[in-house]
A and B are shown apart, each in its own frame.
Chain A
Amino acid sequence: MTVERGGNANVLEVRDLVVRFAGRGRGRRRSVVTAVDGVSFDIARGEIVALVGESGCGKSTIALSVMRLIEPTSGRILSGGEDLATLHGHALRRARRRIQMIFQDPFGSLNARQTVRQTVAEPLVIHHLGATVGERDAMVMDALDLAHLRPPERLAEVYPHELSGGQRQRVAIASAMVMRPELVIADEPVSMLDVSARAGILRLMMDLRERLGTSYLFITHDLAIAWVVADRIAVLYLGRIVEIGPAAELVERPVHPYTQALLHVSSGDDQLAGEVDGGVLAGETPSAANVPSGCRFHPRCPRYVALGRPVACTSEDPQLHNVGRTPVNLGEHRAACHFTDEETP
């Protein structure tokens, strides 16, 4: 499907999102963890945008902030002409109908004591949708069918323990789709599934996009999966987007040294490229409680070392700038590195 970009075609616009958590210590010595540090991105109608990064990079915090399950510290989350970051009560609940979430663990996210029918009907009950029991039930059956839980009449009566991991994740998708959301936030939806079940779930998500125009914010640590599923990929490092662009271009021509390292590791090239990625693989993942000065990636950056430790890397925080070769309407390719013109050794 073709994705139209810009203006009213966006289902979500995140602007300068910052999320801080109180860390350890007391009083003045209390530390602050900046989990998300000024993140902006858009998702167009029918578009799949992937957030990729290591654990602790802030990708799940962004997802939970968009759902307002975590309070953003500052920034705007625009959807349907409203700023979700400032909504409260009834207005927030109404806005949430447009955005649904699928979690990583299909074993923990479903209520073991509820049948599939009860689980999928619950969002309808909460949001007072469906005038009669019959109408509600028709919506549930329709959602089960959409999620390829067939025959819906039989699967509606089973409990989660009777289902495989893949089927459970389909139930989670059905209970998101029963609300006919504009945007689905999928947080590592296949990472706990068997490899054989993964493709089925990813195909289902892509199929729903084709049929219903659903947009996705797809959160994963797996660059290869992001590459085949998403239209655009944003690579996160310590709460910042360090590179964003069309999925094919970003993988073919990564510009940020962190993206390059992720790519090496994800394609199993890291033993060959051990020298190149030594910095990334050897270094401990830094903590968001103690963000390095200048470019936050510099302590692990092979390019920083190769260029003879330029002062800019330790003193100036690099901003995202255009590095793309594709037309802007495909989504700009941008990276936050002072030396994007330099080749990594």
Chain B
Amino acid sequence: MSLLDIDDLSVDYRTAAGSLRAVDHVSLRVESGEAVGIVGESGCGKTSLGLSIPMLLPDNAAIASGSITLQGRSLVGLSESELNALRWTSVAFIFQGAMNALNPVQRVDRQILEAITAHDKNASRDESYQRVLELLDLVGIAPSRAKSYPHEFSGGMRQRAMIAMALACRPSLLIADEPTTALDVISQAQILNLLASLRRSNSLSVIMISHDLSAIKRVCDRIIVMYAGVIVESGSTEQVLGRHGELASAQHPYTHALIRAHPDLRGERVLAEGLAGHPPDLSTTIVGCRFADRCPSVMDLCRRVEPPVVAVESGHVARCHLAVRAK
């Protein structure tokens, strides 16, 4: 049994312009101890997919179809109090920009302590505080800094404190939405190394949502590429991005565009072509491939027929007419 099993999930938003399908029949499994990266540009549905797992979608969004099963338990339809019992303890969520969500007038140790005591009423104060120090140590913050206020921390340290808080109730699944955006390269590397090591040493499953493929590559075993609400490619990190120093083996032209978008310091000193245009309007019915209007390899067929999901090799699939099935 997988830790998390999302089957045929669709998420709709009610907007002034009508209903909009942000996540369109997405299926996804996360095994215990596995790290899965969801990549795509703004509006591709990656955050909605992430938020739907702990049922934290905004009020104007609703799950239109499908199921979410966490540790064998179906989450769709649970009451708010049943969900609250699962949040933090089974699944913890680090929101985008969460490092700015720390309470500015409360010391960091108190905030983490609160997260522990709110979920474990029986824990003694001393034990709980010991746990706070352990957590801070785990994320590389010295005990001497525990009594700091958030403004006394750098951005990277605040993000590490948020990770410590998310781990307070020993969740099995950590969902991190853009955990390194707005941090500089060194802090980014520190956070990514931390996530990678936490997952190895604490058998934690991680879903990392990011627009940054290189960040996902450092932490995740598997990559899911989303475009306009659907998964266009998924596979192991090696299958999608290639092994170190090799050419990427990605099959979908969108994945290729994402890979090329950031210059590689070990590659050629040229600025890649950007991806012109915008994703399609999700409130309208889309005929054919969603990426057709921006695709450099577009064919006639693509505008008429929705591409099938092609199994390139075991565990690697791409939703493209041009994807080649391995022999």
Contact = CB atoms under 8 A, between A and B. Distances in A.
B211 interface: yes
Contacts of A55: 154-155, 183-184, 187
Contact of B265 (A191, A192, A223): A223
A196 interface: yes
B36 to A, nearest CB: 19
B186 A268 contact: no
A282 B193 CA distance: 11
A27 B260 CA distance: 54
Contacts of B196: 271
A224 B272 contact: no
A228 interface: yes
A227 B265 contact: yes
Contacts of A263: 265
Contact of B257 (A53, A196, A267, A271): A196
B214 A268 contact: yes
A195 interface: yes
A272 to B, nearest CB: 8
Contact of A224 (B41, B184, B264, B274): B264
A141 interface: no
B51 to A, nearest CB: 19
A54 B184 contact: yes
The B interface, classified by DSSP as helix, strand, loop or mixed, is loop
Contacts of A203: 271, 274
Interface string B267-282: 0011111111010000
Interface string B153-194: 011110000000000000000000000001111111110010
Contact of A54 (B186, B214, B275, B278): B186
Contact of B186 (A201, A206, A251, A285): A285
B42 A194 contact: yes
B234 to A, nearest CB: 19
Interface string A193-204: 011111111110
A142 interface: no
Contacts of B155: 55
A212 B155 CA distance: 38
A225 interface: yes
Given A195-B211, A224-B263, A266 B42 contact: no
Interface in B246-265: 257-258, 261-265
B189 A267 contact: no
Given A228-B269, A251-B265, A281-B190, A196 B275 contact: yes
A265 interface: yes
Interface string A316-343: 0000000000000000000000000000
Given A199-B261, A199-B272, A199-B273, A281 B217 contact: no
A247 B265 CA distance: 11
Contacts of B190: 281
Contacts of A281: 186, 189-190, 193
A293 B196 CA distance: 35
B214 A196 contact: no
A268 B243 CA distance: 13
Interface string A242-278: 0000011001000000000111011110110010000
Contacts of B271: 199, 202-203, 206, 228-229
B157 A262 contact: no
Given A197-B274, A224-B265, A270 B154 contact: no
B14 interface: no
Given A55-B183, A191-B182, 7 more contacts: A56-B154, A195-B213, A199-B273, A224-B265, A248-B269, A251-B265, A281-B186
25 contacts: A53-B184, A54-B185, A165-B42, A191-B182, A194-B42, A194-B211, A195-B261, A196-B274, A199-B273, A221-B184, A222-B185, A225-B263, A228-B263, A228-B271, A229-B271, A248-B269, A251-B269, A261-B186, A263-B265, A271-B218, A274-B193, A281-B189, A281-B193, A284-B154, A284-B157
Instruction: Sort A-B residue pairs by CB-CB distance and give the 9 closest, nearest first.
Output: A199-B274, A200-B274, A196-B275, A195-B261, A194-B41, A267-B265, A221-B184, A54-B184, A224-B263
Interface of B: 41-42, 140, 154-157, 182-190, 193, 196, 211-214, 217-218, 257-258, 261-266, 269-276, 278
